[in-house]
Structure 1
Amino acid sequence: MTDPASRRAAAALAATLLIWAYSWVVMKQALAYAGPFDFAALRYLLGAATLFAVLLAARQPLAPPPLWPTALVGLAQTAAFQGLEQWALVDGGAGRVALLAYTMPFWAVALAWPLLRERPARAQGLGVALAALGLACILEPWRGLGGARSSALAVGGGAAWALGTVLSKRLFQRHAVAPLNFAAWQMLIGALALGAAALAVPQRPLQWTPALLAALAYSVVVASSAAWALWLFALRHLSATVASLSSLGVPVFSVLLAWAILGERPSPAEAAGIALVLLGLVAVNWRRRPV
């Protein structure tokens, strides 16, 4: 990772991880004022509108990228992932749901091999093993996973995100797609699906408080618009395996932020798991020296 584009992609990836880590705390807090699908739909409808406004301001083309691949990514990466995770937060803690959602890299590694022909390197295999052991410590299955519905929703959302990640990478390989344009269109398609779910599923009434408006502002401008654009830029220049496994840093930071802000204190086993995940990330991103 020595060329300028790769260095910029790595910086974009690091910024994305920090933004998304804090967003789990914000998403949990927003449920005091909105139902899960209402909040997710508002977040991504406004996020898509923001991205289209940026495209207009930058005088970039508004024509959609290849429609069906983009729609599949929007349904998986925006609608299914965000809808299921926001729903999981109703009964689950922010740190725990984030950790379950970030089983995504393991699904992504499995999907990237047959769909992208990205066979994991030996160091990445070691990283997967360490991260898997770390997540096992974090989840403490010997003590039970807590709410079964919340856990299933969170894991299902992680699998949906993995599918969207791999499909995005395949689209970039096959077509010359502008990342910002693609982010806007896939987000709009996913947001419309979330809006349909919000209309169909009974939820608590919206309470338009300053706290809800602040949560929407952070989620829309920072976590949904800027961060997704950064993520897609990183994904375009990094392998799906490296980008996906590096994203395990998000639940690590989410646990720490949930501890500091929401009082969700990790157990000793969870602390050991965080250390193992960090070691896994080091292994995944270890650069081979030229021979």
Structure 2
Amino acid sequence: MTRPSSLKIACAVLFVLLCWAYSPTGIRLGLQGYAPTHLALARFIVASLFMAVIALLRGITLPRLRDVPTLLLLGLFAVSLHHVAINYGQRGVSAGAASVLAQSTPLFSLLIAHWVFKQVAGAWHWGCLLLGMAGAVIVVAGDRGLGQFDPHGLLILVAALSWSIYFALQKHHGHRYDALTITCYTVWSGTALLMVYLPGLLDDLGHAPSQANTAVLVLGVFPSALAYLAWAWVLRHCEVTRVTLALYLIPAFAMLIAAALLGERPSASVMLGGPLVLISVLALNLRPPRLPVQPGRQTSH
């Protein structure tokens, strides 16, 4: 297989960054006409239909029966819980702050790796964790103004925790399927779980302003579907550690998009706490925790 040019890869990475950076602004626009639960469901109905078309064109592997519970868990943590939490959180958190707090996923992944998978964490890792959490506290405590704590910010952290659980599950079980297949089943299973919120969705759809409906379509097609497919394509052609560094540009792009479409300006706490969160997760990724070495066995990488 011929490796694509650096320009094509760079364009694909930029496309992914813009899609995911738009998500906080799109959510804020969608919340103007939809309840948080209905917004999550409507967004992923669109994404599910789009992924169904892609699956028919490209072909995917049928799931094994024993993998169904795992696929449901992937959908729960990557789609249902993650997006319901982040939608409720953005009722009281600016788009810029939400994009920063969402980047705290590696901090929770460290805790999961240490406590669940028994990976060794040293002083460096715990220092990064404390620095990142301090940054998150600053963002949550002052996003709406100094001393104006809004608990909605904690829901964005719940969403980040949910995503880290998804990442751990996908890392340990996702190798059974290719990227397109696992993405399709994650989106579909998460959408199926969100169907409990179906009552009232049509009422929201009928009364929502056109701007909110447009946001739902954009969220469903771009951040929830095309961006994941583009990212999977990038990862097939590039070293993971190199391209993932680009993801730390998402908050900057998100703030620019929020400023352009919503007129938002990041608060002083976001400008102070945001870099602390990003520096901590970047430093954490430069020195990930290690699996303990056991006699007679090799560590896995």
Q: Provide the TM-score with structure 1 as the length reference.
A: 0.76
Moved more, 261-270 or 130-139: 130-139
What is the RMSD computed on CA atoms of the aligned residues? 3.8
Q: Measure the CA separation in 2 of the matches of 1:231 and 1:117.
A: 29
Matched, 1:212 2:212: yes
> Matched residue of 1:199: which SS?
coil
Alignment CA distance shift 1:67-1:234 (3 Å): farther
Alignment CA distance shift 1:200-1:206 (3 Å): closer
Q: Measure the CA separation in 1 of the matches of 2:169 and 2:133.
A: 23
Indicate the structure (1 or 2) with the bigger Cα radius of gyration: 2
Offset of residue 191 of structure 1: 0.9
Q: Measure the CA separation in 2 of the matches of 1:202 and 1:84.
A: 21
Map of 2:139 onto structure 1: 138
CA contact (8 A) 1:116 1:170 kept: no
Percent of aligned pairs with the same amino acid: 22
Map of 1:49 onto structure 2: 49
Alignment CA distance shift 1:166-1:230 (3 Å): farther
Map of 1:110 onto structure 2: 111
Offset of residue 61 of structure 1: 2.6
Moved more, 27-36 or 105-114: 105-114
Give the length in aligned residue pairs: 276
Matched, 1:147 2:171: no
Alignment CA distance shift 1:127-1:152 (3 Å): closer
Moved more, 72-81 or 152-161: 152-161
CA contact (8 A) 1:105 1:247 kept: no
Question: What does residue range 1-291 of structure 1 map to in structure 2 within 5 Å?
Answer: 15-58=15-58, 60-64=59-63, 66-115=67-116, 119=120, 128=129, 131-140=132-141, 143-144=146-147, 146-148=149-151, 150-172=152-174, 175-199=175-199, 206-207=206-207, 209-231=209-231, 238=240, 247-280=247-280, 283-284=283-284
Task: Provide, for residues 231-283 of structure 1, a one-character-per-residue CA deviation record: whole Å limited to 9, x for no partner.
Answer: 556788747xx95x875543343234323432332233432334444544654
> Matched residue of 2:207: which SS?
coil
Offset of residue 128 of structure 1: 4.8
Alignment CA distance shift 1:205-1:147 (3 Å): farther
Offset of residue 229 of structure 1: 3.2
Q: Measure the CA separation in 2 of the matches of 1:85 and 1:152.
A: 9
Alignment CA distance shift 1:13-1:120 (3 Å): farther
Q: Measure the CA separation in 2 of the matches of 1:34 and 1:22.
A: 18
Alignment CA distance shift 1:115-1:12 (3 Å): farther
Unmatched 5+ stretches in structure 1: none
CA contact (8 A) 1:74 1:186 kept: yes
Offset of residue 225 of structure 1: 0.5
CA contact (8 A) 2:100 2:274 kept: no
Alignment CA distance shift 1:204-1:145 (3 Å): farther
Paired residue type of 1:61? I
Q: Provide the TM-score with structure 2 as the length reference.
A: 0.74
